[in-house]
Amino acid sequence: MNAIANREYKNSVFTLLFNEPDKILSLYNALSGRDIPIDTPVEITTLEKAMFLDRINDLAFIVDNKLVILIEHQSTICKNMALRLLLYISRVYEKILDKKAIYRNALLQIPRPEFYVLYNGKDNYPEIKKIRLSDAFADIDKLENSGTLELEVTVFNINAEKNNDIIRKSDELNGYVVFVSKVREFQNEGLDLDEAITSSIDFCLNQGFLVKFMETHASEVRNMLYTEFNLETAKEVWYEEGREEGREEGREEGRVEGRTEGEISKARDITKKMLKRNRPINEIIEYTGLSLDEVNELRNT
């Protein structure tokens, strides 16, 4: 896939929704079970660049200079989440710490990290699950202990009817869950993605979910979620195992490396829809993996 690494960070509906300190604290309190005052200082430390398709995070922030919180929103299950967040937290510390201070004799006090993942994909998943870095250690059964390095991630399933007590502690999180679940519900009823998103926005406005947010950002929400859902579909179609199997089976002339004809057809269908919405060519290439010539050919048909 012709994905562009280190592309500029772009908002998702989730990050756009949780972009203010009070909303961030409300979300954190819901997940952690704490009751930090809403007026507590928050420093957002989300990194500005991330890898396409493997974007590390959605939110990173420091609460009152005591905690580094990483919250990743996922529509697919990733068993390497702890390893990815280990690499990410190193970059966050590099960003917030005085690089010279680590060489001084005095012990440097650093914010204590906590890691959370919010999952809302279609696959069955536990309501709450712990993922640990030590699970990835090679030959773990031959070691006397799991090693001195550990990182634990708490994964919350935020699909409808999951973790309701936690989700309802944050009005924004509850509204987000309702919104996404309605989009999928409308799609299951036969509406295309555009219609499903529009109908879900109308539902939220009529039922009192995320009203101010939807009134202010309705156009952005449509474009963002359209792209996110198409990306979700692309991930399902081009999941790594499938691509590797395709490479092993050989490369036929006229095929995109490692993809079946059905996968290429799906990529072209998504490209046509994105062209109709006047999405930028470089964005289409990133999300579909088609070449510039292939996209131009579809644009001219």
DSSP string, 50-79: E-TTS---SEEEEETTTEEEEEEEESS--T
Q: What integer pLDDT is reported at residue 5 of this predicted model?
A: 28
Residue with structure tokens 């198409």? Answer: 230
Handedness of CA 187, 179, 81, 72 (dihedral sign): positive
Q: What integer pLDDT is reported at residue 147 of this predicted model?
A: 59
Q: What integer pLDDT is reported at residue 4 of this predicted model?
A: 30
- Which residue segment(s) compose the domain that 37 sits in? 7-139+146-170
Question: Would you tell me the crossing angle of helices 193-207 and 171-188 to the nearest 10 degrees?
Answer: 140
Q: What integer pLDDT is reported at residue 234 of this predicted model?
A: 53
Q: What integer pLDDT is reported at residue 249 of this predicted model?
A: 45
Residue 180 included in any domain: no
- What are 239's two structure tokens? 């999941």
Q: What integer pLDDT is reported at residue 301 of this predicted model?
A: 74
Q: What integer pLDDT is reported at residue 8 of this predicted model?
A: 39
- What are 130's two structure tokens? 């712990």
Q: What CA–CA distance (Å, rounded) separates 85 from 280?
A: 30
Residue 236 included in any domain: no
Residue 12 included in any domain: yes
Show Cβ contacts of residue 77 under 8 Å, excluding neighbours closer than 6 positions: 119, 121, 123, 125
How many domains is the chain built from? 1
Residue 231 included in any domain: no
Q: What integer pLDDT is reported at residue 199 of this predicted model?
A: 95
Q: What is the pLDDT along the chain (301 residues), one digit of tens a residue?
A: 333 323 333 568 888 899 899 999 999 999 999 999 988 999 998 876 544 334 445 789 999 888 889 888 877 777 888 998 998 899 889 888 988 888 999 999 899 999 999 998 888 899 999 999 988 887 766 556 655 789 999 999 999 889 999 999 999 999 999 999 999 999 999 998 889 999 999 999 999 999 999 999 998 888 888 877 776 655 555 444 444 444 444 444 444 444 566 667 778 888 887 787 777 777 777 677 788 888 888 887 7
Letter for the amino acid at 205?
A: L
Residue 63 included in any domain: yes
Residue 123 included in any domain: yes
DSSP state of 139: T
- Which string of b and e fits 266-293 if b means at least 16 CB within 10 Å? bbbebbebbbeeebeeeebbbbbbbeee
3-state secondary structure 214-249: HHHHHHHHHHHHHHHHHHHHHHHHCCHHHHHHHHHH
Q: What integer pLDDT is reported at residue 11 of this predicted model?
A: 67
Residue 296 included in any domain: no
Residue 234 included in any domain: no
In this structure, how many other beta carbons lie within 10 angstroms of the beta carbon of residue 41? Answer: 10
